[in-house]
A and B are shown apart, each in its own frame.
Chain A
Amino acid sequence: MSAEQARGATWDTAAPPELLRRAGELAEQDPAAAVRLLGALTGATTELPPWLAGARLVAGLPAGSWARRTVRLAVLGSHTTGHLVPLLRLAAAAHGIALDLYEAPYGQYQLEVLDPQSPLHAFRPEVVLLAVDQREARFPAHSATPAQDLEAEAARWRSLWSALRDDLGALVLQTTFVPPVDDEFGSFAVALPGARRRQLRALNLALGDDLPPGVHLVDAEAVAATAGARTYADERYWFLSKHAVGLGALPLLARAVTQVLAAAVGLQRKVVVCDLDGTLWGGVVGEDGVGGVLVGDGPAGEAFQAFQEHLRRLQQRGVLLAVVSKNNDADARAPFEQRPEMRLGLEHFAAFLATWEPKADQIARLAGELGLGLDSFVFVDDNPVEREQVRRALPEVGVVALPADPAGFVRALAEFPGMETASLTEEDARRTSSYRARAEVARARDGAGSREEFLAGLEMVLTVEPVGEDNLRRVVQLIGKTNQFNLTTRRHTEAAVRELAARPGAVAQALRLRDAHADHGLIGVLLAVPEESDLVVDTWLMSCRVLGRGLEGPALAGLLEAARRDGRRRLVGVHVPSGRNEPAARAFADAGFVPDGAADADGSTRWVHQVSGDPLPGPPVLIDLTPVVDLTAGAPRPRSLEDPCPTTSTTA
């Protein structure tokens, strides 16, 4: 694709100056490749000068040429953020995020939040970073009433968050408080109720308890521990220029902030694709035999075990694991079946591909089977040649530069952009079984009868329920991250969903699907608002896990029922091309709607269905509308949304 390929460069092993030089050369002809090099830079060093140079390069690239997503980020600091802001731009680029940035004047964060006329409000950020240091926590050196002081301080920060969420509809990120190293109590502070050090730690945990949706903490204490406490808080730079975070710690802080940012906007990686030989165990199973591979014996063997345990914990967190190995299938499986030292079992993998095909081909096919975009994937392989081939063939896939020593594998994967999460839902934990079922279904489809027979054999049950407190977190998560089957790609915040759902005549529904293979959990969202005699679909999205099943018509059954109940004449919908939602272009047609006029200049198409018209087409699906329709039954119903938070002038 580019000069860097022609030169046979291996990004993994390049030093920071080399990465910068090549990125600079590529900036004009291939900005996306330049950004990938700069992403590698953020993993290769935490030194300030190369980060500043990389940040300048990113700032000069047109975002449209490389970014997965542009985010409007406002940085509100209690301290000087002039160096942090450009570093955030670089760290975000490692996630494929382009930042539109607003930096509030030093120390004015409270005014900016509370004044509706402030530049912050005019900027209309999607995300606000509160970069506040421990001096802002209003604790005395030794509190006489620790519990009350703690509660009051936690409440003060929560009220600032509500202002940001309600007035601006922004996601909020806040750095936790890092206690100073040097105080009058030292270690005794840990045991002394009311000591400031103890209060600050308690405050971090108190803020983490009961964190409202849309608010995320950045663990600055962990950043300080990684950087070294005296590097993190270098008093000389506080006195010189009010840099509360030392310049030597800023690259690490920028990395931590953007890990949370990426997860908060739904750009986290979802699948870890692992090689086997040299990655999950030492040696080559096809040559050394199942008894000869190294796992769990001696330092390297224990390091492989530790890496397996890390992967297993990721899997329990909701990340999908897959094996892509150049091996005979039986050889590849043998250690999992026969070696008791193994910490991963075959059941932990959503897919297991051991063939002699190029790995990039296998990963691309896997993405198709799982119905996930390639940018959801991370590839982990000890072999730099395999890594380079995957990088070149599939630039969207994240490729982890594993170090030579297995003891460093966990760190390399944990630090990789996109490997953090911002929330856990029940659906996350259920995902492996659902995706495994999907992969099996994809294979079954190749060999089994007609599509109709196949779909009938799935015995699908689709449940329509109102959007409520119990499912709101997952609904907002889906709205934030669904790209393919997303008709309008309107990234509503939680506050916006609440507002929309509360409008008179509005309909907000969530869809669940289970079938003979798996319970897929909450897989769809529908938001619709009345316009005269029409019910207009504002948002319709479905998880890519359940695409290709002819669910378009059944998915709208609940909306149609609501329209009928409310006496609407027509259901109206629109498809707005986003560049990534081509799979949804025919959604309304497949659901039996007819086009309403020609496409707009931007390619948007409008569709209508008469409420009194034909039933919506679809395969055999049992549609359970009781949660939204049966108002009289005694069955427990999901908690409905509480009144939307009181907002400013615009609500009626």
Chain B
Amino acid sequence: MPHDVDDRLTRVFREVLADPGLELHDDLTAESVPAWDSLAHVGLMFSIESEFGIVFSDTEMSGFGTVGELRRAVERKVS
């Protein structure tokens, strides 16, 4: 299951950020990925919600500091 989440998250990130070589790791932040600007972030949130059929809270949507936090939130919601 965790692997499944990782794969699907990676695919969404690659699609939305148009970066087919992007590798996700838990310490990755928006600042370190040039295409991950505030507009792309909204597209990411929407696409991740659609992909997993989940809903982030208002606070979560603007509050994820790292990919690790995001991944754990997704895993919590899909389990």
Binding site for B on A (CB under 8 A): 47-49, 52-53, 56, 80, 82-83, 236-237, 239-241, 243, 246-248
A241 touches B42 (CB 8 A): yes
For residue B24, CB closer than 8 A to chain A, the reply is no
Interface residues on B, range: 10 to 19
User: Nearest Cβ in chain B — how far from A561, in angstroms?
Assistant: 60
B43 touches A52 (CB 8 A): yes
A48 touches B58 (CB 8 A): no
> In the complex where A48-B46, A82-B39, A248-B50 touch, is A239 in contact with B58 (Cβ < 8 A)?
yes
Chain B hits for A248, CB < 8 A? 46, 50
* Of listed A47, A48, A239, A240, residue having the most chain B CB within 10 A: A240
A247 touches B43 (CB 8 A): yes
Chain B hits for A83, CB < 8 A? 39, 42-43
Residue of B nearest to A239 (CB): B58
Chain B hits for A80, CB < 8 A? 39, 42
A237 to B61, CA, bound (A): 9
> In the complex where A247-B43, A248-B50 touch, is A240 in contact with B61 (Cβ < 8 A)?
yes
Chain B hits for A236, CB < 8 A? 58, 61
Chain A hits for B42, CB < 8 A? 80, 83, 237, 240-241, 243, 247
User: Which one, B16, B45, B58, B62, contacts A49 given CB within 8 A?
Assistant: B16
User: Nearest Cβ in chain A — how far from B11, in angstroms?
Assistant: 9
Residue of B nearest to A247 (CB): B46
Residue of B nearest to A246 (CB): B46
For residue B18, CB closer than 8 A to chain A, the reply is yes
> In the complex where A83-B42, A237-B42 touch, is A49 in contact with B18 (Cβ < 8 A)?
no
A74 to B57, CA, bound (A): 34
28 A-B contacts, Cβ less than 8 Å apart?
A47-B50, A48-B43, A48-B47, A49-B12, A49-B16, A49-B47, A52-B15, A52-B18, A53-B15, A53-B18, A80-B39, A80-B42, A82-B39, A83-B39, A83-B43, A236-B58, A236-B61, A237-B42, A237-B46, A239-B58, A240-B42, A240-B45, A240-B62, A241-B38, A241-B39, A243-B42, A247-B43, A248-B50
User: Nearest Cβ in chain A — how far from B18, in angstroms?
Assistant: 5
* Of listed B38, B45, B46, residue having the most chain A CB within 10 A: B46
Chain A hits for B16, CB < 8 A? 49, 52
A83 to B18, CA, bound (A): 14
Residue of A nearest to B12 (CB): A49
Residue of A nearest to B41 (CB): A241
> In the complex where A49-B12, A83-B39, A240-B62 touch, is A56 in contact with B46 (Cβ < 8 A)?
no
If A53-B15, A247-B42, A247-B43 are given as contacts, then 13 extra A-B residue pairs at C-beta distance below 8 Å, sorted by A number, are A48-B47, A49-B12, A52-B43, A80-B39, A82-B39, A83-B39, A236-B61, A237-B46, A240-B62, A243-B42, A246-B46, A248-B46, A248-B50
